[in-house]
Amino acid sequence: MGIVGEIKNLGFGYVFERVFERIVPVWMCRFCCLAVYQIDSNKLPGGPISNSDIKVCESEQELEQLRQVTSADGEKDHTIGFVAKMNGEVAGGLWVVLGDYQDEDLGLSFSLGQVGAWIYSARVDAAYRRQRIYSHLMAESTQTRKNAGHAAPYIGVSKLNQGSHKAIQRFGREVGQVLVFRLGSIVWARATGELKQNQSLTTQCTRRPIELSISETS
């Protein structure tokens, strides 16, 4: 997919957001309007994709491959990695945090409880998009956590990311949104919907992030 196609798929606003994040250091400034969804397992696809393999990462080699495709280290506590392969080649992946999730870049902490789970850095390589890999990654990770006794996982998507929104809306229920702006160690946030926050402003985002909780619905 060329640059023009990538912009059309993601949206100009989200491309600008990504460029901004690459140029400006995270400790200096961040902003985002985040839509939070809970995955509905009943709406996820079933059955395998031809020539594909989606599984939990079990070796350091698979974890390293996942880090490369998702641009995330997966070093948060209680984290599980899922990788998707097509014809033996890594096509995408995602990470799942069990329990509470903290977004250090935005200075936010999501309180999900012991049976909660949060999906982050879900990515599919451009060469393998439009092959249902994204939705099948969601299905595999959701079913695996459900079998382990966890509630349906949550995922946060930038409102500017048109491509991910179109995909998530097919099998996710939006529980709320949070508008957040970070300048240095100062973070301001405003949550809506079922998202509840303990404070609107913090001057110590690393030690005292803004905590958000979600009403239990499943």
CATH number of the CATH domain containing 8: 3.40.630.30
CB < 8 Å & 24+ apart, contacts of 6-10: 6/126, 9/129, 9/162, 9/163, 10/161, 10/162, 10/163
Return the pLDDT at 7: 44
CA separation for the pair 195, 167 (Å, rounded): 22
Task: Give Cβ neighbours of residue 170 (< 8 Å, ≥ 6 apart).
Answer: 43, 135
Q: How much is the average pLDDT of 39-58?
A: 82
Q: What percent of the chain has pLDDT over 70?
A: 90
Judged against a pLDDT cut of 60, whether residue 214 lies above it is answered with: yes
Which residues, at least 6 apart from 11, have a Cβ–Cβ distance to it below 8 Å?
160, 161, 162, 163
Task: State mean pLDDT over 19-44.
Answer: 92
For residues 9 and 160, what is the distance between their CA atoms, to the nearest angstrom?
11
- The whole-number pLDDT of residue 110 equals 95
Q: What is the pLDDT of residue 11?
A: 62
> Is the model's pLDDT at 5 over the cut of 80?
no
Residue-number span of the structural domain to which 178 is assigned: 3-214
Q: What are the residues whose beta carbons fall under 8 Å from the beta carbon of 215, sequence distance 6 or more? A: 175, 194, 196
- Count: domains in the chain: 1
- Torsion sign across C-alpha atoms 200, 118, 39, 105: positive
